Amino acid sequence: MNQTNLNKYSRSVSIIGVGCTPFMYTVDNPETDGLTEGELFGYAALKAMEDAGVNPQDIDFYFHGEASPLNGSNYLTPNIQIANWFGMKGKASIHHSEACCTGYYAIEQAVNAVASGKYNCVLSGCVEFGDSLAVPNHPYKREKMTMEKFLQTTAWLYDRNYTRSLMAGQELIYDDAAEWYKRTRGLTDEQMDDTINWMSINNRKNASKDELAIERRTYEEIARDAGFDNVMDYMRSPYNPKNGDYLRMSGIELKCDGAAAVIVCATDMVDKYMGNKSHKPIEVLGCGCAACEATTPHFEVAATEEAVRQVYEVTGVKPEELDLFYANDFIITSHLVSAEIAGYLPYGEGWKYICEGRTAYDGDKPINTNGGRTSFGHAHAASGLADLYEAVKQMRGECGERQVKKLPKTTMLRGYGGAQNICTYIIRTVD
């Protein structure tokens, strides 16, 4: 596979502010039904500005991410359509979409813009209504997105010329990583099934302590209410059906609505921008990216290996220096395979760490402390920045009940999506 060797940034860039909405089914709740793109993005952006201590006029440029603006919002150029909501009227912006990886490329874009020297302070935000569609010709009403409509639109992710015709690439997204892991690590079917179930349980345990998460009821509680004494008996039961070759219902994203944002600036200008804010900035050390279109065998594995190689090479960071790990796990197996490829979990042993609960927020190798896509929720473009929001809060020690045991100094985040982009970056608290 083709490879890219990265250069170091021309100047250091740090995260100084983050904001995030709750992840929601907006149309299901009268209090949130009627919320708009500008309101969600604007809230996240202003919260990030408040967190950073900056005025909107201090920010030079903004990036806007939305996975499917035409389908979900009846928007082309969605960056322009929400431009006046957060005090930056007249400032330049650009929209980007890498589907479920959008929120990860959001940080890559912002950092590049500052590292190049063109801008000193940049906002990057993402918004998505993953659970509802704009009603055409109405200013704010939305309707629930049916699964049929959702699947119609996800088909657009795949190459029309060959991939859809060959019938395999788009179907392998659900189980290819599980098959690869099971075969290459020598697991039995039962061990793979248990590992997938434990990832769901651990994700939900994390989300149960996060007020922004969409689903906070633990699987232990759900199992008990269904009459099961043992949570694994529930997870292996028809209550949690297998709808993939390996994948069960609990391992699939909860598509929903939400927004998140981040402010980055040149590290040597932090004092100018942050004023009297006391939290430490968090430097973006590097970002590795790769993409494997869905006809590529083991596309997630191949692209993750390349992106991880790049980011370790350019940053000089070693896997043993990572304190915390996030993976965009809309197919839950992602968080196992990417954590092992990154060396955060040891080769061939990651599944044991997961089954022993060591990857939950209170374990020694925490992953997706916000609950990931199966419990925090998946507002497609916004999910990557929601993960960054959580990582930053953990690194500042601001996560309360779900705060990990050891204050993390170095974190890796691995984005994935859009059949399939991979964007992997390492962030570290500035001393």
Partner 1 sequence: MAIVLEKVVQGFYDRLEEGKICGRKCPKCGAVEFPPVYACNSCGNYETEWYEISGKAKMHSIVMPAALSSKPEYKALGKYAYGEIELEEGARFNAVVRGISKKTRKDLLDKLPLDVHAAIYQRDGYKTVVFDLDKKYIEN
| Interface contacts to partner 1, rule CB under 8 A | 2, 161-162, 165-169, 171-172, 174-176, 179-180, 183, 241-245, 247, 252, 294-298
- CA–CA distance, 41 with 413 (Å, rounded to integer): 22
Which residue's CB is nearer to partner 1, number 76 or number 168?
168
Query: Minimum Å distance from CB 242 to partner 1?
Result: 7
Residue 51 has φ and ψ, to the nearest 5°, of -65, -40
What's the min distance (Å) between Cβ of 422 and partner 1?
17
Nearer to partner 1, 140 or 162 (CB): 162
Beta carbon of residue 162, minimum distance to partner 1 (angstroms, whole number): 4
Q: How far is the CB of 206 from partner 1 (least distance, A)?
A: 24
Longest Cα–Cα distance of the chain, Å, equals 60
Are the C-beta atoms of residues 63 and 127 closer than 8 Å to each other? Answer: no
Cα-Cα-Cα-Cα dihedral sign, residues 147, 148, 153, 159: positive
Cβ closest to partner 1, residue 66 vs residue 193: 193
Report, in Å, the least distance between residue 20 CB and partner 1. 29
Q: CB-wise, 235 or 382, nearer to partner 1?
A: 235
- Residue 45 CB-density burial (10 A; 0-12 exposed, 13-18 middle, 19+ buried): buried
132-134 and 142-144 as β-strands: parallel, antiparallel, unpaired? antiparallel
Q: Which of 214, 217, 252, 219 is nearest to 234 (CA)?
A: 219
* CB nearer partner 1, residue 122 or residue 303: 303
Burial 99-136 (b: 16+ CB within 10 A, else e): bbbbbbbbbbbbbbbbbeeebbbbbbbbbbbbbbbbee
CB-wise, 168 or 407, nearer to partner 1? Answer: 168
Cα–Cα distance between 337 and 262 in angstroms, integer?
27
Q: Minimum CB separation from partner 1 for residue 108, in Å?
A: 24
